[in-house]
Amino acid sequence: MEPTKLYSLPKLPYGYKDLEPQISEEQLRIHHEKHHQAYVTGANTILEKLDKARKEGAELDVKATLKELSFNIGGHLLHSLFWANMAPAGKGGGTQGGVLGDAITKEFGSFERFKKEFTQAAVSVEGSGWAALTFCKQTGRPIIMQIEKHNVNVYPTYAILLDLDLWEHAYYIDYKNLRPKFVEAFWNIVNWAEVTKRLESVLK
Ligand code: MN
């Protein structure tokens, strides 16, 4: 039997300076190397704790452990999606046609209306959380999801096409308390090609 695996921090698909001026090198580096890494480490620590307890037949606080595991795995997965759905300005931003543009226009009426609703979801996340565009296969609808922390209000099994980190640690160095400024900047670095790829793989 192969040894069981742990989580690892994915490399960014661009350099730390490449999202400037929307996200500074300092902001991106600390977010990736420190914050995302902390969720990877947190999830792995819990998995190792579970391994150890099972091996020794030791008692566990299962409820508390699973709650913590959900938080850390959620953090790891959402960050991994987030890095990949951004691209340096020039390669990112703008609007999108094709299968994604069609789905968005059909659901929201227009691309602008979608951006407006997503922005409102992002700006109004209570405390720390995320805004995400998901896709529901049952109805064929793209649906916005407003996640609290990394794991609350999630629609189980809906594919995430696009997500945006609204924790203060995502923007405080660059934008201080001005979350709306960060959300506005984000639209300039959305990697629509990646978002489209995710939708295509759901539709397959
Ligand atoms: Mn984050």
pLDDT in tens, 92-129: 777 777 899 999 999 999 999 999 999 999 999 999 99
The total number of structural domains that make up the chain? 1
**Cα–Cα distance between 38 and 32 in angstroms, integer?**
9
> For residue 52, how far is its CA from the centre of ligand 1 (angstroms)?
29
Which among 179, 134, 140, 139 is positioned nearest to 160, based on CA atoms? 134
Residue 1: pLDDT above 90? no
Quote the ligand 1 centre to 199 CA distance (angstroms). Answer: 23
CA of 120 to the centre of ligand 1 (A): 19
Expressed in angstroms and rounded, the spacing between residue 194 Cα and the centre of ligand 1 is: 19
Percent of the chain with pLDDT over 70: 99
Q: Please check whether residue 1 lies inside any domain of the structure.
A: no
Judge if pTM exceeds 0.85: yes
Residue 190 lies in a domain: yes
Domain with residue 195: its CATH number is: 3.55.40.20
Q: Using N-to-C axis directions, what is the helix angle for 37-56 and 62-84, rounded to 10°?
A: 150
Ligand 1 mean position to 35 CA, how many Å?
Answer: 6
Q: Which domain holds residue 148?
A: 23-204
CA of 31 to the centre of ligand 1 (A): 6
pLDDT of 23 reads 98
Over residues 172-202, the pLDDT tens digits come to 999 999 999 999 999 999 999 999 999 999 9
Q: For residue 167, is it within any domain?
A: yes
Q: Measure the CA–CA gap between 102 and 109, rounded to whole angstroms.
A: 10
- Across residues 75-83, what is the average pLDDT? 98
Ligand 1: centre distance to CA 82 (Å):
9
Q: Please report whether residue 74 resides in a domain.
A: yes
Q: Which of 150, 152, 156, 155 lies closest to 170, judged by CA? A: 150
Residue 94 forms part of a structural domain: yes
Does residue 12 lie in a domain region?
A: no
200 found inside a domain? yes
Phi, psi dihedral angles at 203 (to 5 degrees): -80, -15
**45 pLDDT more than 90:** yes
In a domain, 138, yes or no: yes
pLDDT average, residue stretch 143-149: 98
Per-residue pLDDT, 143: 98
The whole-number average pLDDT for the span 8-25 is 98
How far apart (Å, rounded) are the C-alpha atoms in residues 59 and 36?
Answer: 30
CB-proximal residues (5 Å) to ion ligand 1 = 35, 165, 167, 170
pLDDT bucket at 140, cuts 50 / 70 / 90: very high
